[in-house]
A and B are shown apart, each in its own frame.
Chain A
Amino acid sequence: MTDTVVVTGVGTCSPFGAGSHAFSAGLREGRSRAEVASELVRSDGHAATVCLVPDDALHGVPERARRLSRAHRMAMVAVADALADGQVDLDRFRRERVGVCYGTPSSTRHAEELQDTIAERGPRSVSPLMFEHSTGMAGPGTMAIEYGIAGPTIPLPGGGASGLQGICLASMLLRSGRVDLAIVVAAEEIAPLYYHALELLRVLSSGLDEPEASSRPFDKGRSGIIPGEGAAAVILERASDARERGATAVVELCATVLAHGGEAGSLHSTPSGSYRPHVSAPLERTMRYALNRSGYSPGDVDYIAACANSARALDAMEADALGELAAPAVVSSIASIIGDMGAASGLLNFVGCVKSMEGGFVPPTLNFGGHERPLRLDIATTLRTASLGISVVNAHSLGGACASTVIRTLTERKPQR
């Protein structure tokens, strides 16, 4: 039998500040972090509503990373937090047996400045450092240097699904024996062009008056997403190795399934929300496959950490997928609290779920008052106390890639096959 893969540490840099304890407490408190950012202006003249990471959360960034884009600095904070949480002493690992899967930000200020520089001041004004810092390896490369990580470094520019893509690849690396420790990280920052691109693609929430009411996953009154910034990190190891070094395994990774919507999968063609019902298939399939592989049935699931982000199309699709799965589980979406974290959303959702299982609570889905069609789902609208044995984490990105992970607490008994 192949060794199982366990989570031995989690870390975040979120709108609640540095550290997964602050993140967990924030989710429990359930107060929206959406705020009006006066320095970011929409094309209609209104200030943007976003969920930002407080600047003081970035104080602990190592010297080497200070000049990196904000997303990569947030990633550094999350990774340091996760390593501390997992009591990982990297000196006790062979560095070529440590790998990194890195969900790279959709855009960074460095990359955008590079574009601006060429457009405004001409091509010869590009500086080498600016260029180095704009490549896909900027974050993973700096992390490798900082921690002396000499194993696989895999940058995944997969949008919202990239975090779970990282979880899937990392567990493949661990199961195949290629690495002994895998760090999965994902980060997103709100760079100005990225924000305007979201605006032009008409995926932003139109709710301007009440920031805290503008991210409304599953709710019939939702009009789009509230972009957020943040980073999450997860330490994965084989269960036997974790045991041997005396690490506390928080949860076990039962299965991660990646999929693509194929022909019907892209939500690009439906920014305004006209969505075709059969599109729910891929997300339902990832959940079903992941449960099958774990040896569980939908009836065993206690909690589903939804990827619904207040977008018209995605939420309708996930609501249908959950309806078809017909699991009697509690459903919640933390995007109602922290917004849509772009490339970091999948992994923040994962870490949020781990913290929920650890703390025995389900965070509330704020602003949910009813879906446009009848739903037979138990969506938590207020904080609930619950013992969560088995959970499903969902992720999706705009181009049609999606993913589901099944995790179980290590106090839960194994499924009987």
Chain B
Amino acid sequence: MTGIGVLTPIGLGTEAFARGLRAGASGIRRITAFDPGAYRTQIGGQLDGFEPEAMFGARDRRHLDRASMMALTAAIEALEEAEITTPAARPDRWGAVLGTTLGGMISGERFHRLLFVQGKRRPSRLRDFPLHAATDRLCSTFAIEGPSFTVSSACASGAQAIACAFDLIRSDEVDVALAGGVDTLAQLTHAGFDSLRLLVPEPEQIRPFDRRRAGFALGEAACVLVLEERLHADARGAKALAEIRGFGTSNDAYHMAAPRPDGSGSARAIQSALQASGLPGSRIGYINAHGTATQQNDASEAMAILSVFGGPAECPPVSSTKPMTGHTLGAAGAIECAAAILAIRDSFLPPTLNYGEPDPACPVDCVPNVARDTSVEAAMSNSFGFGGVNYSVVVAAPTFDPAPTEREATL
């Protein structure tokens, strides 16, 4: 992993995001992207200060959806950090995998509204509507000619994209892959989650792992990581930010919108991620939870984590950054993987905001309310989605030595 680019409601750019995570900032406010007046919940996380006008010309903006512009902006930052400034020598050995649930929904909604309200047809609004549009824009902008595709596994999309890109590199299909996720704040999903009564009306009510938890707020975000085969990175003298050790995936095969209450489905993903990483649970210093702050998710996730790690005493700190960023759907898995990497890089644990009343069903150390300074050598990021899909990704410091610690050796 040689580059990160992020746009989140708590910070545009990697450094601002890292500062926000450490400060426990909240990016959740009243929604201005559309009129939220008719909904039970009127808050969400938006990219304050993101100005596509400054980055893209008027002509491009007619075709590019907000999601495409967000993904491109994140990719530019990631490539800069990876110090890749010239087009690839072997563009066919570059790939791109993005996860998204909405694609160009903002353009789609605008097209639909224009058609309905004013009877106007604006086909240019449809160019970026397909879910694969942002990935295509990455390829055409950065001249990527290798395997490129889009995944859409609801809230696990971003993690799934990183996992697929990891497999592309492992299978020697590519040397470098841009991987991540993007989603905007669209009326459609807000209305949908509002109808499921999963959204809360006030930012302070997003309370992962708290007994009073009742749901989340949505957010928009983009994250693009530069994943690179280690030898390829070494050969060009690139500095690695982190290493992706492996991932695990599973499907609950249980219910469209609810996890298995005992967490056995997600436990399998967590277990196989650990196995793939080649690390014992004791080497994981931090878990960035899916932590949506719904009654069902957090209890089932806590149970899954504890069942794999052994018990509250053996379990590393588990926090959810969703109270800060909102639930950014297809981007969530990617920005949370980035948060885990930043925790390793900057030696701190991002806090779980708004935590007050412990829940016996979630007996985890959730780093309540304030960030904690501590060194982390390896971390895990969990992402679970509609349709029962579970992903768990393990990342480690670039200097990480997988040899067993003394403690393990004596056990």
In the complex, the answer to whether A126 meets B129 with C-beta atoms within 8 Å is: no
Which chain B positions have C-beta within 8 A of A240? none
Query: Is the Cβ of B153 less than 8 Å from the Cβ of A155?
Result: yes
Complex interface: chain A residues within 8 A of B132 (CB): 157-159, 397, 399, 401
Max chain A C-beta neighbours (<10 A), residue from B95, B170, B188, B387 = B387
State A153–B250 Cα separation when bound (angstroms).
8
Residues of the A chain whose Cβ atoms lie less than 8 Å from the Cβ of B386: 132, 135, 137, 141
Question: What per-residue 1/0 map shows which CB atoms of B136-170 lie under 8 Å from chain A?
Answer: 10011101111111111110010010001001101
Contact among A104, A115, A154, A161 for B164, CB-based, below 8 A: A154
Q: Which of A187-226 contact B (CB under 8 A)?
A: 193, 197, 200-202
Interface size on A, residues (CB 8 A): 75
Q: Are B196 and A263 neighbours in the complex by a CB distance under 8 Å?
A: no
Residues of chain A with a CB closer than 8 A to B23's CB: none
Chain A hits for B152, CB < 8 A: 104, 135-137, 155-157
B171 at the interface (CB under 8 A from A): yes
The segment out of B109-117, B349-357, B398-406 that lies at the interface is: B109-117
Asked if A416 CB lies within 8 Å of chain B CBs, one says no
Contact status A124-B188, CB under 8 Å: no
- Chain B residues in contact with chain A, CB under 8 A? 38-39, 91-92, 95-96, 101, 103, 108-109, 112-113, 116-117, 121, 123, 126-127, 129-133, 135-136, 139-141, 143-154, 157, 160, 164, 167-168, 170-171, 173, 187-188, 190-196, 249-257, 265, 268, 385-389
A272 to chain B, nearest CB (A): 12
In angstroms, Cα B253 to Cα A264, docked, is 41
State the Cβ distance, B310 to closest chain A Cβ, in Å: 21
The answer to whether A135 and B101 touch (CB under 8 A), given A258-B148, A259-B145, is yes
The interface residues of chain B lying within 8 Å CB-to-CB of A268 are 127
User: Which A residues touch B251, using CB under 8 A?
Assistant: 141, 144, 149-153
Contact in complex: B148, A260 (CB < 8 Å): yes
A96 interface hit (Cβ, 8 Å)? yes
A128 CB–B CB distance under 8 Å:
yes
Q: Which residue on chain A has the smallest CB distance to residue B129?
A: A197
Q: A123-B194, A157-B152, A259-B145 are in contact. Are A132 and B136 (CB under 8 A)?
A: no
Q: When A and B form their complex, what is the total count of cross-chain residue pairs whose Cβ atoms lie within 8 Å?
A: 230
Residue in A130, A153, A175, A258 whose CB lies within 8 Å of B387: A153
**Chain A residues within an 8 Å CB radius of B153:** 136-137, 140, 153-155
Is the CB–CB distance between B130 and A126 below 8 Å? no
Q: Are A400 and B151 within 8 A (Cβ)?
A: no
Say yes or no: B145 contacts A282, CB within 8 Å.
Answer: yes
Provided the pairs A150-B253, A157-B152, A259-B146 are in contact, do residues A200 and B126 lie with their beta carbons within 8 angstroms?
yes
Q: Is A261 among interface residues, defined by CB-CB distance under 8 A?
A: yes
CB-based contact A175/B171 at 8 Å: yes
Within 8 A of B (CB), among A101-128: 104, 106, 114-115, 118-120, 122-124, 126-128
Q: Which of A349-365 contact B (CB under 8 A)?
A: none
Give residues in A with beta carbon < 8 Å to B: 43, 95-96, 104, 106, 114-115, 118-120, 122-124, 126-128, 130-132, 134-138, 140-142, 144-145, 147-159, 161-162, 165, 168-169, 172-173, 175-176, 193, 197, 200-202, 257-266, 268, 282, 285, 289, 397-401
With a cutoff of 8 Å between Cβ atoms, the chain B residues found around residue A201 in the complex are 123, 126-127
Assuming the contacts A136-B131, A397-B132, asked whether A141 and B39 have C-beta atoms less than 8 A apart, the reply is no
Q: Which residues of B contact A158 (CB under 8 A)?
A: 132, 149-150
B387 near A140: Cβ-Cβ < 8 Å: yes
Q: A131-B195, A200-B123 are in contact. Are A400 and B136 (CB under 8 A)?
A: yes
Q: Within the assembled complex, what's the spacing in Å between the Cα atoms of A141 and B153?
A: 9
Asked whether, in the complex, the Cβ of A399 is within 8 Å of the Cβ of B136, the reply is: yes
> Which residues of the other chain, B, contact A120 by a CB distance below 8 angstroms?
116
Identify 17 residue pairs between A and B in the complex whose beta-carbon atoms are under 8 Å apart, listed by A's number.
A43-B121, A115-B108, A122-B38, A124-B194, A127-B195, A132-B257, A137-B153, A140-B389, A142-B256, A144-B252, A158-B149, A169-B167, A172-B173, A200-B126, A259-B148, A265-B145, A400-B136
The answer to whether A399 and B389 touch across the interface, beta carbons within 8 angstroms, is: no
A-B interface, 6 closest residue pairs, ranked by CB to CB distance from nearest: A141-B387, A137-B387, A136-B152, A399-B136, A131-B192, A157-B131
Chain A residues closer than 8 Å to B150, beta-carbon distance: 156-158
A-side contacts of B143, CB under 8 Å: 262-263
Residues of the B chain whose Cβ atoms lie less than 8 Å from the Cβ of A400: 136, 139-140
**Interchain CB contact under 8 A, A128 and B196:** yes
